[in-house]
């Protein structure tokens, strides 16, 4: 895929089904888009995100994450960096990537790694944030796009979108509405970054 010269180049990392990657890839095809998705990498063999990328002609790579459960081992991290550099990415967008990134990758793309998280951070970092929101009885939650640092969901916030919690919400129904919001906000942020904001 050849990016328009005035577009920023984005590499997407994900472990799951890839709905956010699809939202980014589709938004990137619109005439006024300021970014292109140029590569997709997953730590999970057979993840839906890889198929969704290939269907759209985006190069998709599975990289074995190595021996650890929650992070990449040194060899895997080096391979991730190599593939991202080969694709000449300007930004790395995490979209359901289920491992904590360490300094090696973050230093390779300083202030250029962003993530989408399904809560209004700093509330409910970590896993299953929509369940945490229901358990706490909050009346609004939402999603957050933020820069990634070495902590868990702690980096500088770029943008947030509010989702109302309904009286009859289940974890599944709330998660679904949060994901609809995610698919709006993530492309908006990428376009803003592409405009240099």
Catalytic residues: 117
What is the C-alpha to C-alpha distance for residues 170 and 181, in angstroms, rounded to an integer? 17
Residue selected from 10, 11, 13, 20 as contacting ligand GRF according to rule CB under 6 A = 20
Q: Which stretch binds ligand GRF (CB under 6 A): 13-21, 28-36, 64-72, 165-173?
A: 13-21
The footprint of ligand GRF on residues 36-75 (CB under 6 A) is 49
The residues with which 83 forms a beta bridge, in sequence order, are none
Q: Considering beta carbons, is residue 74 or 127 the nearer one to ligand GRF?
A: 127
The nearest distance, CB 196 to ligand GRF, in angstroms, is: 25
Write phi, then psi, for 176 (nearest 5 degrees). Answer: -60, -45
Q: Which of 27, 63, 109, 118 binds ligand GRF (CB under 6 A)?
A: 118
Contact with ligand GRF (CB under 6 A): which of 16, 59, 66, 125?
A: 16
Of the candidate spans 2-10, 99-107, 114-122, 160-168, the one that interacts with ligand GRF by CB under 6 A turns out to be 114-122
Distance (Å, rounded) from C-alpha 159 to C-alpha 71?
26
What is the enclosing helix (H) or strand (E) of 131?
helix 129-136
Q: Of the two residues 20 and 39, which places its CB atom closer to ligand GRF in the complex? A: 20
The reply on whether position 24 binds ligand GRF by CB under 6 A is no
Q: How far is residue 4's CA from residue 120's CA, in Å, rounded to a whole number?
A: 33
Q: What is the DSSP string of 72-121?
A: --HHHHHHHHHHHHHTT-SEEEESS--SB--HHHHHHSTT-EEEEESS-T
């Amino acid at each position: 895929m050849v990016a328009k010269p005035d577009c920023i180049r984005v590499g997407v990392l994900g472990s799951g089904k890839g709905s956010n990657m699809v939202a980014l890839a589709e938004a990137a095809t619109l005439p006024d888009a300021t970014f292109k998705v140029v590569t997709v990498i997953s730590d999970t063999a057979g993840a839906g995100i890889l198929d969704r990328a290939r269907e759209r002609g985006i190069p998709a790579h599975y990289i074995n994450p190595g021996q650890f459960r929650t992070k990449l081992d040194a060899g895997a991290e080096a391979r991730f960096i190599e593939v991202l550099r080969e694709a000449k990415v300007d930004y790395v967008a995490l979209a359901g990537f289920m491992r904590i990134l360490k300094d090696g990758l973050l230093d390779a793309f300083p202030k250029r790694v962003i993530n989408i998280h399904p809560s209004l951070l700093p509330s409910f970092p970590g896993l299953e944030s929509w369940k945490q929101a229901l358990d706490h009885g909050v009346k609004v939650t939402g999603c957050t796009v933020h820069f990634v640092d070495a902590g868990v969901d702690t980096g500088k916030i770029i943008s947030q979108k509010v989702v109302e919690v309904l009286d009859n919400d289940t974890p599944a129904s709330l998660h679904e509405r949060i994901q609809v919001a995610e698919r709006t906000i993530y492309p908006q942020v990428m376009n803003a970054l592409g405009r240099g904001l």
